Amino acid sequence: MLEFRALTFERDDWPLFSDLCGELKAGEILQISGPNGCGKTTLLHILATIQAPTTGSLHWQGRDISRCRQEYLAAMTFVGHQTGLKLSLTPRENLRWLSQLQPLSRCSSGEALARIGLAGFEDVPSYTLSAGQLRRAALATLCMTEAKLWLLDEPLTALDVEGIADLEALLLEHVAKGGAVVLSSHQPLVNRAVRTLALDAMAEAAH
């Protein structure tokens, strides 16, 4: 499904990571691990085409992404470390706003918010929500998207035990239907099917 070949990213002439290679198949979850500053967010930004690598290439369904960029973007959704929500809007209004930026039509906003554990909070101002509830509201887009590939930067941040369990169930449901997930997190997921890419080990080898 997604392959990255010989990815290198340099910051101030210093390699954050070098010659990074990997492949993600349908039905797989890949967790990027490592301490702060090792390049987890940068790698996800590269996979989401937000940033370009210093060298290396991305391939989608066997084709260089430079040749199928629009097809790739249509098949991928990215949820960043920052929630991206407007605090003056309610969770429901935020999802309606986000649906103008990307297709979110698999279910209604109310159904998505209930699925992610925000039933009863759909129409309250987002500035009244806790950090964990804001994270849930941002992740509700995953219930609504048709995208096959999910790229998630620190999605477990601020979630309680129940929230993490809800997210893991959502991820497993997605990959069981043929989707794929790349996520970054300091916290290991409990499912044995999750593969791990340790960027700190890569960095030590490169240096």
* Per-residue pLDDT tens digits for 63-97: 999 999 999 999 999 999 999 999 999 999 999 99
Confidence of residue 204 (pLDDT cuts 50, 70, 90): very low
Residue 12: the pLDDT is 87
pLDDT band, residue 199 (cuts 50/70/90): confident
Whole-angstrom Cα distance, residue 147 to residue 103?
9
Position with higher pLDDT, 163 vs 13: 163
E strands, the chain, where? 2-11, 14-24, 29-33, 55-60, 63-64, 76-79, 149-153, 180-184, 194-198
The 10 Å Cβ neighbour count of residue 86 is 14
Per-residue pLDDT at 154: 95
Report the b/e string of 35-65 with b at 16+ CB within 10 A. eeebbbbbbbbbbbbeeebbebebbbeeeeb
Q: What is the pLDDT of residue 201?
A: 54
CB distance 157 to 146 below 8 Å: no
What would the two tokens of residue 137 be?
């509201």
pLDDT at 64: 97
pTM across the whole model: 0.92
R_g of the chain, CA atoms, integer Å: 17
Mean pLDDT of 177-183: 97
Q: How far does Cα 48 stand from its chain's mean position?
A: 9
Q: How far apart are CA 2 and CA 23, in angstroms?
A: 6
5 pLDDT more than 50: yes
> Across all residues in the chain, what is the average pLDDT?
92
**pLDDT confidence of 102, banded at 50, 70, 90?**
confident
Residue 197 CB coordination number (10 Å): 19
Q: 185 pLDDT exceeds 60? A: yes
Distance CA 78, CA 87 (A): 20
Lowest model confidence (mean pLDDT) among 29-43, 46-60, 149-163? 29-43
More confident residue, 190 or 183: 183
Q: Are 28 and 190 spatial neighbours (Cβ–Cβ below 8 Å)?
A: no
- For the chain, list the domains and their CATH numbers: 2-198 (3.40.50.300)
pLDDT of 167 above 60: yes
- Helix (H) or strand (E) run with residue 106 in it: none
3-state helix, strand, coil in the chain (%, to 5): 35, 25, 40
Distance in angstroms (rounded) separating the CA atoms of residues 121 and 167: 18
Confidence band of 203 (pLDDT split at 50, 70, 90): very low
